[in-house]
Amino acid sequence: MIVVDWLQRLGRNALFFLQRLGRATVFLLQVLAGIPTIIMQPRLLLWELYSVGVLSLAIIGISGLAVGMVLGLQMYTTLVDFGAAQSLGPVVALSLVRELGPVLTALLYSGRAGSALTAEIGLMKATDQLSVMEMMAVDPLCRVVAPRFLAGVVSVPLLAAIFSAVGILGAYFVGVGLLGVDAGAFWSQMQAKVDLHADVYNGLIKSAVFGLVATWIAVFEGYDAVPTTEGVSRATTRTVVHTAFAILGLDFVLTALMFGGI
- Residues at the contact surface with other proteins, assessed by CB under 8 A: 127-129, 131-132, 134-138, 143
Q: What residues contact residue 111 under an 8 Å CB cut-off, 6+ apart?
A: 240
Could you give the angle at the alpha carbon of 158 between the alpha carbons of 157 and 161, nearest 5°?
85
Q: What residues contact residue 168 under an 8 Å CB cut-off, 6+ apart?
A: 68, 92, 93, 96, 190
**Least distance (Å) between residue 151 CB and other proteins:** 15
93 within 8 A of 170, measured Cβ to Cβ: no
Q: Would you say 37 or 74 has its CB closer to other proteins?
A: 37
What stretches of the chain adopt beta strand conformation (E)?
Answer: none
**Least distance (Å) between residue 234 CB and other proteins:** 20
**Least distance (Å) between residue 121 CB and other proteins:** 12
**DSSP per-residue letters across 204-229:** HHHHHHHHHHHHHHHHHHHHHS-SSH
Q: Would you say 6 or 47 has its CB closer to other proteins?
A: 47
Q: Would you say 117 or 160 has its CB closer to other proteins?
A: 117
**Least distance (Å) between residue 118 CB and other proteins:** 16
Side-chain half-sphere CA neighbours of 170 within 13 A: 23
Q: Would you say 10 or 15 has its CB closer to other proteins?
A: 15
**Least distance (Å) between residue 29 CB and other proteins:** 15
Q: Would you say 129 or 191 has its CB closer to other proteins?
A: 129
